[in-house]
């Protein structure tokens, strides 16, 4: 850090008395997305997070579940009045927790998967923090080369954490260690609810955002690898003894749905599919097996259900700004 005393003496030696300044400024328009270029990354992250969370509303559903909705603002409000919220919420995601018998059955899976701990210990520890190195092993990410892409990913992660924590609190599912002392997790069990898995939610939202940023079909090798990496990250949390497979399956649904919603807020005309994770129909014998568990359609398992028709929302200026800056970093890359 620069010693402030050197700047004090330098100013005294170089200043011109009565200098009125050399930089005539014109203030930008109010709430201009282009002002984002002037801010530090952490400021941009907070601005975008406020934009993402403002229209979301969360509530309890029945005795076993909770849901989250998007509330549109009324564009017909007077110019000097605060925007009014729509009276018809647009569904985003819904979750119902499994019963205790299903969780008890899944304890057997957690105990069985403990045999993989020795070979996966390094991965598990390496994935405690945001898994940028693991996503960067699939897509070439670098702080100097793709800083805005990393910023966009971080904003998506913050959305994921804010939403998943509301579900975790509302559903209040116990962790494996609370069902059996034999689980003996190899990392500290986090101090919040088990379902949905935060690591699973975050991995799948990143996979969804990157796939759509590059405009890749599901069949593209990068898309497939991102999905496999997400499943590996989610499964490792079960191997570590801090999650059930059901938590990972719930996180997959929430992450993919939030990813679609995030892109819809960044790009005009994009839509998301509202989805419902119904844990009440689970027996406890289920595993996370994405290739055989489509999220939508007639072949989806019983616990993945629709929560309404496809929805859209107005894109946000600041989110669109961040999306376009991230996309620009890849304009010379051709994905085959």
**pLDDT confidence of residue 11:** 79
pLDDT at residue 14 in the model: 78
336 residues of the chain, pLDDT tens digit each: 667 778 888 878 877 776 666 676 788 899 999 999 999 999 999 999 999 999 999 999 988 899 999 998 765 556 666 666 566 799 999 999 999 999 999 999 999 999 999 999 999 999 998 899 999 999 999 999 999 999 999 999 999 999 999 999 999 999 999 999 999 999 999 999 999 999 999 999 999 999 999 999 999 999 999 999 999 999 999 999 999 999 999 999 999 999 999 999 999 999 999 999 999 999 999 999 998 999 999 999 999 999 989 999 999 999 999 999 999 999 988 887
Cα 101 to Cα 314: distance, rounded to the nearest angstrom: 43
- Per-residue pLDDT at 9: 84
pLDDT for the residue 213: 97
Provide CB contacts within 8 A for 23, sequence distance 6+. Answer: none
CB 184 within 8 A of CB 239: no
251 in Cβ contact with 234 (< 8 Å): yes
Query: Per the omega criterion (within 30 degrees of 0), is the bond before 208 cis?
Result: no
- What is the C-alpha radius of gyration for the chain, rounded to an integer number of angstroms? 23
Q: Tell me the C-alpha distance between 191 and 188, whole Å.
A: 9
> In whole angstroms, what is the distance from residue 78 CA to residue 235 CA?
51
Q: How far is CA 268 from CA 25, 29, 32, 297, 312, in A?
A: 33, 22, 18, 25, 9
**Which structure tokens are listed for 222?**
């990068």
Helix or strand holding residue 238 (H, E):
helix 221-240
- Render pLDDT for 233-253 as a digit per residue (tens, 0 to 9): 999 999 999 999 999 999 999
Going across the sheet that includes 56-61, the strands are 56-61, 65-70, 90-96, 275-278, 304-306
Query: What's residue 257's pLDDT?
Result: 98
Contact assessment for residue 234 and residue 195, using Cβ atoms and an 8 Å cutoff:
no
pLDDT of residue 85: 59
The DSSP symbol for 311 reads E
Q: Which pLDDT value is given to residue 22?
A: 67
pLDDT of residue 326: 97
End-to-end CA distance of the chain: 46
Write the DSSP symbol of residue 115: G
Residue 115 CB neighbour total at 10 angstroms: 9
Which pairing describes strands 311-312 and 56-61: parallel, antiparallel, or unpaired?
Answer: unpaired
CATH tag for 39-328 (out of 3.30.1330.200, 3.30.450.40, 1.20.144.10, 3.90.1170.50): 1.20.144.10
Q: Where are the alpha helices (DSSP H) in 114-146?
A: 117-126, 132-136
Ranges of each domain in the chain: 39-328
pLDDT of res. 168 = 98
Alpha carbon distance 98, 100 (integer Å)? 7
**Contact (Cβ atoms closer than 8 angstroms) between residue 238 and residue 109:** yes
**Spatial distance between the Cα atoms of 106 and 284, rounded to a whole number of angstroms:** 5
Integer Cα distance of 322 and 301 in angstroms: 36
Cα atoms found within 13 Å of the Cα of residue 99, Cβ hemisphere only: 5
């Amino acid at each position: 850090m620069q010693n402030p005393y050197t700047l004090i003496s330098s100013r005294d030696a170089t200043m011109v008395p009565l200098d009125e300044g050399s930089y005539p400024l014109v203030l930008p328009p109010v709430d201009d997305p282009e002002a984002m270029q002037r801010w530090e990354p952490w400021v941009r992250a907070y601005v975008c997070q406020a934009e993402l969370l403002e229209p979301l509303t969360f509530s309890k559903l029945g005795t076993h579940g909770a849901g989250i909705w998007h509330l549109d603002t009324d564009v017909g409000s007077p110019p000097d009045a605060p925007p009014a919220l729509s009276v018809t919420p647009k569904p985003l995601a819904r979750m119902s927790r499994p019963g205790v018998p299903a969780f008890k059955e899944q304890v057997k899976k957690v105990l069985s998967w403990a045999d993989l701990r020795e070979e996966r210990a390094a991965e598990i520890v390496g994935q405690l923090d945001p898994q940028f190195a693991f996503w960067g092993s699939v897509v070439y990410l670098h702080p100097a080369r793709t800083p805005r892409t990393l910023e966009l990913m971080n904003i998506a992660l913050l959305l994921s954490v804010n939403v998943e924590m509301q579900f975790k609190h509302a559903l209040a599912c116990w962790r494996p260690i609370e069902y059996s002392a034999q689980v003996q997790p190899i990392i500290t069990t986090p101090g919040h609810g088990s379902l949905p898995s935060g690591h699973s939610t975050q991995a799948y939202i990143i996979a969804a955002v990157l796939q759509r940023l590059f405009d890749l079909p599901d069949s593209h090798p990068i898309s497939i690898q991102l999905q496999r990496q997400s499943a590996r990250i989610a499964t490792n949390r079960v191997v570590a003894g801090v999650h059930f497979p059901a938590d990972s399956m719930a996180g997959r649904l929430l992450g993919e749905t939030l990813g679609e919603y995030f892109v819809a807020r960044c790009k005009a005309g994009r839509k998301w599919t509202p989805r419902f994770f119904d844990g009440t129909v689970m027996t406890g014998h289920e595993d996370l097996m994405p290739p055989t568990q489509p999220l939508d359609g007639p072949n989806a398992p019983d616990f993945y259900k629709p929560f309404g028709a496809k929805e859209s929302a107005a894109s946000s200026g600041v989110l669109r700004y961040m999306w376009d800056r991230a996309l620009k970093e890849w304009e010379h890359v051709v994905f085959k």
